[in-house]
């Protein structure tokens, strides 16, 4: 197939692009490099030293003989997006090109507005471009389990059958998003549902859990292909943060009681899920929702797991509890269904099968790059304007030149 990866220079997008290329598909990466610019804005860096996209793609071509086409631009620019879709003519589009951090969206008004404009407008542009230029293309959209929130009932995969006043209907599962970022994803889901209904588009919404790991078979082929490992308080995941803290002997920072429970999956399962969905597309006019995760853990369970594994590695790991900067239930019921992808052939890699060891070893290998000041939460959900240090005041055009290499 001809598959376009929007946001292909990012964490999930990069691993997906290499994986699908290795399977023989013709791949195009569409990216504006804004993810790299956010590192400069916030004064952080990925724990693993990643190269520029042109350097990465050159390494991939030299190793495999496979080329990956690139289109540099912003999908909120419809003219650019339309020209790209028209020129590449994809059979499937995998959409990772969104601002994906809840804390980033909660810094202040500016960041909240940017998140919603970037995400919602970009997806709307994409829907119109598919309708006009590639109406049979299958849209594979990365959603988030955070759309659902933490209801006191089982979370179904996208839809729920409700009986009310003697009548029954199958309706979208109620959404209780917990940040302006998660709200943007809900808006995306509604817009995609509507577009499929009125234009007969085909789309699959993958409500993804928290992804962990830097390793896929393709990434391990050469140091030049290494993926991101974000551990900071804005873009880092809780598991990455715990691994980095354990590697340098800093107490693991658990927010509140640590009962917050979420779904998790290995990056290798992310790329496999994308492949499964591309190989089994939605029908014309169909909007499908799959919950994309393999296990669920509470924050405290993760901390205890890291402490135990770290101890086996000779690390002295302690756990600290901090006031929770987010507005969320610190103890709650959580049972989300996630069978549809396994029914289609997913064979999960499980964190509970010993993968924590490899995650901590990555942090140990690069621990000289760890900045402990990046651990403390600086974005408070209860404050309208967080006083966050912005360390780079370069003009956007200069910043873009630097991150593009």
pLDDT digits (tens, 9 = 90+) for 132-151: 999 999 999 999 999 999 99
Residue 397 lies in a domain: no
CATH code for the domain in which residue 280 is found: 3.40.50.720
Mean of pLDDT values over 351-360: 89
Dig out the tokens for 238 from the structure. Answer: 């809780």
Of the listed 144, 150, 216, 237, which one is catalytic? 144
pTM: 0.95
Dig out the tokens for 262 from the structure. Answer: 């979420």
Between CA 16 and CA 49 the distance in angstroms is: 19
pLDDT higher than 60, residue 394: no
Per-residue 3-state assignment (H helix, E strand, C coil) for the chain: CEEEEECCCCHHHHHHHHHHHHCCCEEEEEECCHHHHHHHHHCCCCCCCCCCHHHHHHHHHHHHCCCCEEEECCCCCHHHHHHHHHHHCCCEEEECCCCCCHHHHCCCHHHHHHHHHHHHHHHHHHHHHHHHHCCCCEEEEEEEHHHCCCCCCCECCCEEEEEECCEEEEEECCCCCCCHHHHHHHHHHHHHHHHHHHHCCEEEEEEECEEECCCCCCHHHCHHHCCCCCCCCCCCCHHHHHHHHHHHCCCEEEECCCECEEEEEEHHHHHHHHHHHHHCCCCCCCEEEEEECCEEEEHHHHHHHHHHHHHHCCCCCCEEEECCCCCCCCECCCCECCCHHHHCCCCCCCHHHCCHHHHHHHHHHCHHHCCHHHCCCCCCCCCCCCCCCCCCCCCHHHHHHHHHC
Dig out the tokens for 71 from the structure. Answer: 């289109």
What is the strand order of the sheet 210-212 is part of? 210-212, 261-266, 295-298
pLDDT higher than 60, residue 248: yes
Q: What percent of the chain has pLDDT over 90?
A: 94
Q: In the prediction, which pLDDT does 314 show?
A: 96
pLDDT higher than 60, residue 17: yes
Mean of pLDDT values over 65-69: 98
What SS3 state is found at 34? helix
Mean of pLDDT values over 221-242: 97
Residue pLDDT, tens place only, 170-196: 999 999 999 999 999 999 999 999 999
Residue 221 lies in a domain: yes
Mean pLDDT of the chain, nearest integer: 95
Of the listed 11, 104, 181, 212, which one is catalytic? 181
Active site residue 144: yes
State the pLDDT confidence band at 391, using cuts at 50, 70 and 90. low
Of the listed 11, 104, 115, 185, which one is catalytic? 185
pLDDT higher than 70, residue 3: yes
Active site residue 261: no
State the pLDDT confidence band at 352, using cuts at 50, 70 and 90. confident
Q: In the prediction, which pLDDT does 240 show?
A: 97
DSSP, res 142 = E
pLDDT higher than 80, residue 33: yes
Total domain count for the chain?
Answer: 1
Domain that holds residue 129: 2-383
Q: In the prediction, which pLDDT does 387 show?
A: 78
Nearest to 124 by CA among 72, 194, 208, 172: 194
Residue 147 lies in a domain: yes
pLDDT higher than 80, residue 404: no
Active site residue 19: no
Q: In the prediction, which pLDDT does 109 show?
A: 95
Residue pLDDT, tens place only, 190-213: 999 999 999 999 999 999 999 999
Dig out the tokens for 196 from the structure. Answer: 């499929």
State the pLDDT confidence band at 389, using cuts at 50, 70 and 90. low
State the pLDDT confidence band at 405, using cuts at 50, 70 and 90. very low
pLDDT higher than 60, residue 235: yes
pLDDT higher than 60, residue 58: yes
Q: In the prediction, which pLDDT does 396 show?
A: 47
| Helix H or strand E segment including 255 | strand 252-255
CA dihedral 99, 102, 104, 106 (to 10 degrees): 130
Dig out the tokens for 61 from the structure. Answer: 């071509």
Mean of pLDDT values over 33-44: 96
pLDDT higher than 90, residue 398: no
Q: In the prediction, which pLDDT does 395 show?
A: 43
Q: Which residue has the tokens 């006191």?
A: 152
Q: In the prediction, which pLDDT does 403 show?
A: 44
pLDDT higher than 80, residue 393: no
Residue 389 lies in a domain: no
Residue 223 lies in a domain: yes
Residue pLDDT, tens place only, 308-346: 999 999 999 999 999 999 999 999 999 999 999 999 999
Mean of pLDDT values over 108-123: 97
């Amino acid at each position: 197939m001809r598959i376009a990866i929007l946001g292909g220079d990012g964490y999930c997008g990069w691993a997906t692009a290499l994986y699908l290329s290795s399977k023989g598909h013709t791949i195009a990466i569409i990216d504006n490099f804004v993810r790299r610019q956010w590192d400069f804005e916030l004064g952080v860096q990925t724990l693993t030293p990643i190269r520029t996209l042109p350097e990465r793609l050159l390494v991939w071509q030299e190793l495999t003989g496979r080329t990956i086409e690139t289109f540099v631009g912003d999908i909120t620019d419809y003219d650019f997006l339309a020209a790209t879709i028209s020129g590449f003519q994809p059979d499937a589009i995998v959409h990772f090109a969104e601002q994906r951090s809840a804390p980033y969206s909660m810094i202040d008004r500016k960041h909240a507005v940017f998140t919603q404009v970037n995400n919602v407008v970009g997806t709307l542009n994409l829907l119109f471009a598919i309708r006009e230029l590639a109406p049979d293309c299958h849209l594979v959209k990365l959603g988030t389990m955070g759309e659902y929130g933490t209801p006191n009932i089982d979370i179904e995969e996208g839809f729920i059958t409700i009986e009310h006043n003697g009548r029954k209907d199958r309706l979208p599962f109620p959404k209780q998003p917990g940040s302006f970022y998660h709200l943007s994803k809900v808006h995306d889901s509604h817009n995609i549902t509507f577009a499929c209904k009125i234009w007969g588009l085909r789309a699959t919404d993958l409500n993804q859990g928290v992804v962990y790991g830097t390793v896929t078979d393709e990434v391990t082929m050469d140091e030049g292909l290494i993926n991101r490992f974000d551990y900071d308080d804005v873009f880092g995941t809780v598991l990455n943060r715990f691994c980095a803290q354990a590697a340098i002997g800093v107490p693991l920072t658990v927010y509140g009681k640590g009962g917050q429970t979420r779904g998790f999956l290995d990056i290798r399962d992310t790329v496999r899920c994308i492949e499964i969905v591309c190989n089994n597309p939605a029908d014309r006019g169909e909007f499908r929702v799959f919950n994309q995760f393999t296990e669920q853990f509470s924050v405290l369970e993760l901390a205890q797991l890291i402490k135990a594994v770290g101890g086996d590695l000779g690390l002295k790991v302690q756990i600290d509890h901090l006031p929770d900067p987010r507005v969320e239930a610190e103890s709650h019921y959580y049972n989300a269904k996630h069978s549809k992808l396994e029914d289609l052939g997913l064979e999960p890699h499980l964190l509970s099968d010993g993968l924590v060891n490899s995650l901590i070893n990555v942090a140990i290998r690069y621990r000289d790059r760890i900045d402990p000041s990046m651990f403390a939460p600086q974005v408070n959900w209860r404050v309208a304007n967080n006083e966050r240090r912005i360390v780079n005041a370069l003009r956007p055009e200069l910043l873009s030149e630097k991150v593009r290499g």
